[in-house]
């Protein structure tokens, strides 16, 4: 890990600590989203197959809530 | 495996552990706003473990009190009789089916989900701006949320073998618990839950909400049923029960339409539920 304030960081192709933080944050978001999709797996399948549109807004709201916590 | 029948379960309920007499007396007066609170406070205070738990809850972030509540009588004066009654009932039922027990059903996970649903139902019932919620008593919502799955405890206590078979079916088919129970046992925890709460003389409003919280139809459902179904879905969605194969149950279409809850209100409810959850679990599930 290089010093992100260094003039050579990034330019040399080395990974900066900001990039590592962003990647970790992204991985955490992906993990939260995957867990929610797993919890709603049956509801979301039914959503695609049939009419009730109720599951999606609750799912979307929980996704926004979880991702806002990141 | 032979399916179970409701009469079989109802007969067995008589052999299950009994709720303390004071709780039965409190439940009989649930619809009675004029109950003799001094008399009941005296009875609650006689059960030291129960009253200690109630006072810990009364002083927790659940109520956010400025001053310390020291006695049951004070708790009734400050929080109201209905709230104290809900706390006493919650403490007594959890004590009856202690979280430490282990077997076909993870009792600890069961109570964590029940407490999450209770907190969430109460938080939803606070949203007085929603027409369908205005008439719902917050303490009724709390108790109903806590007990909505109580039928599972009755089934597993009656026949661990039957419950195990239903859960094996659930894992194999990746279906909802109540679908597996219907397929294997011939009845589900919602029907059994109604039977035990009826035996304990809970009000009809609560019996109906427990029985119909998975009712998957287009028919009109009551406000409390809609709140319990949504609270159940949110508690699963917030992933508070630590169950790796958990599934969010179906959200009842008629209930969702009835509540017509806005995103900002839902966000408040998520936040309040999570904020109170660990402390409420620590107090309610403590082994005294």
β-partners of residue A16 are A2
The residue of chain A nearest to residue B245, with distances taken between CA atoms, is A39
A44 touches chain B (CB under 8 A): no
Alpha-helix runs per DSSP H in B97-212: 107-125, 138-147, 150-158, 160-173, 177-185, 189-199, 204-212
* Alpha-carbon separation of residue B141 from A11, B89, B125, B191, B195 (angstroms): 60, 13, 7, 19, 19
| B259 to chain A, closest Cα gap in Å | 12
List pLDDT tens digits, range B168-180.
999 999 899 999 9
CB contact under 8 A, A65 and B270: yes
pLDDT at B62: 80
Which residue is it, tokens 């002083």? B59
Q: In the predicted model, what is the mean pLDDT of residues A10-16? A: 73
CB contact under 8 A, A35 and B239: yes
Among B123, B235, B237, most A C-beta atoms within 10 A, so best to mutate, is B237
The residue of chain A nearest to residue B231, with distances taken between CA atoms, is A58
pLDDT at A53: 61
A41 → closest Cβ in B247, B252, B253: B247
Q: At B147, list the tokens.
A: 């007990």
> From CA B44, how far away is CA B88, in angstroms rounded?
8
> Considering only CA atoms, which of B236, B198, B190, B237 is closest in space to residue B216?
B190
List pLDDT tens digits, range B57-83.
889 888 877 788 899 888 888 888 888
CB contact under 8 A, B174 and A59: no
| B206 to chain A, closest Cα gap in Å | 24
List pLDDT tens digits, range A32-45.
999 999 998 877 77
Among A31, A54, A57, A63, most B C-beta atoms within 10 A, so best to mutate, is A54
Would you say B151 and B189 are in contact if contact means Cβ atoms under 8 Å apart? yes
Average pLDDT, chain A: 77
The residue of chain B nearest to residue A69, with distances taken between CA atoms, is B271
> Considering only CA atoms, which of B117, B73, B41, B92 is closest in space to residue B202?
B92
pLDDT above 70 (res A70): no
SS3 state of residue B241: coil
Q: At B153, list the tokens.
A: 């405890």
**Which contacts (CB < 8 Å, 24+ apart) does range B124-127 have?**
B124/B227, B124/B230, B124/B231, B124/B259, B124/B261, B124/B269, B125/B227, B127/B261, B127/B265, B127/B268, B127/B269
The residues, ordered by sequence, that sit 6+ positions from B43 with a Cβ below 8 Å of its Cβ are B22, B25
From chain B, pick out residues whose CB is under 8 angstroms from the CB of A57.
Answer: 263
Q: Per residue of chain B (288 residues), what is the pLDDT tens digit?
A: 788 888 888 888 887 778 888 888 877 765 666 667 787 788 888 888 888 888 998 898 888 777 888 998 888 888 888 888 888 889 888 888 876 666 788 888 999 999 999 999 999 999 978 877 888 889 899 999 999 999 999 999 888 999 999 999 999 998 999 999 999 999 999 999 999 999 888 889 999 999 999 976 667 788 999 999 999 999 999 999 877 788 999 888 888 888 989 999 999 999 999 999 999 999 888 875
B175 touches chain A (CB under 8 A): yes
Backbone angles phi, psi at A2, to 5 degrees: -100, 165
The burial class, CB within 10 Å (0-12 / 13-18 / 19+), for B99 is buried
| A15 to chain B, closest Cα gap in Å | 34
B215 touches chain A (CB under 8 A): no
Would you say B139 and B125 are in contact if contact means Cβ atoms under 8 Å apart? no
pLDDT at B32: 63
Would you say B140 and B278 are in contact if contact means Cβ atoms under 8 Å apart? no
Q: Has this prediction a pTM greater than 0.80? A: yes
Would you say A33 and A49 are in contact if contact means Cβ atoms under 8 Å apart? no
A37 touches chain B (CB under 8 A): no
The CA-based angle B5-B6-B9, given to 5 degrees, is: 95
Q: What is the CA radius of gyration of chain B?
A: 18
CB contact under 8 A, A35 and B256: no
């Amino acid at each position: 890990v290089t010093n992100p304030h260094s003039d050579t960081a990034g330019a040399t192709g080395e990974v900066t600590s900001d990039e590592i933080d962003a990647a970790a944050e992204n991985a955490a978001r992906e993990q939260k989203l995957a867990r929610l999709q797993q919890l709603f797996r049956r509801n979301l399948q039914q959503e695609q197959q049939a009419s009730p549109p109720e599951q999606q807004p609750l799912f979307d709201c929980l996704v926004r809530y979880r991702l806002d916590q990141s | 495996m032979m399916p179970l029948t409701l009469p079989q379960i109802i007969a067995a309920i008589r052999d299950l552990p009994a709720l303390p007499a004071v709780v039965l007396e409190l439940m009989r007066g649930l619809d009675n706003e004029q109950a003799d609170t001094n008399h009941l406070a005296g009875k609650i205070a006689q059960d030291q473990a129960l009253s200690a738990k109630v006072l810990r809850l009364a002083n927790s972030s659940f109520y956010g009190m400025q001053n310390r509540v020291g006695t049951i009588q004070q708790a009734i004066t400050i929080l109201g009789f209905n709230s104290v009654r809900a706390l006493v009932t919650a403490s007594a039922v959890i004590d009856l089916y202690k979280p430490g027990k282990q077997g076909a059903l993870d009792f600890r996970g069961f109570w964590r989900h029940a407490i999450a649903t209770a907190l969430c139902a109460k938080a939803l019932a606070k949203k007085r701006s929603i027409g369908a919620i205005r008439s719902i008593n917050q303490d009724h919502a709390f108790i109903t949320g806590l007990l909505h799955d109580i039928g599972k405890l009755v089934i597993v206590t009656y026949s661990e073998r039957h419950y195990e078979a239903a859960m094996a079916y659930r894992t194999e088919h990746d279906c909802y618990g109540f679908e597996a129970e219907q397929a294997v046992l011939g009845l589900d925890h919602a029907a059994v839950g109604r039977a035990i709460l009826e035996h304990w003389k809970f009000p009809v409003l609560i019996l109906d909400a427990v029985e119909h919280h998975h009712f998957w139809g287009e028919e009109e459902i009551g406000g409390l049923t809609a709140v319990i179904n949504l609270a159940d879905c949110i508690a699963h969605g917030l992933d508070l029960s630590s169950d790796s194969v958990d599934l969010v149950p179906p959200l009842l279409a008629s209930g969702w339409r009835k509540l017509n809850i806005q995103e900002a209100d839902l966000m408040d409810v998520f936040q309040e539920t999570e904020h109170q959850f660990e402390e409420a679990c620590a107090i309610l599930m403590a082994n005294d």
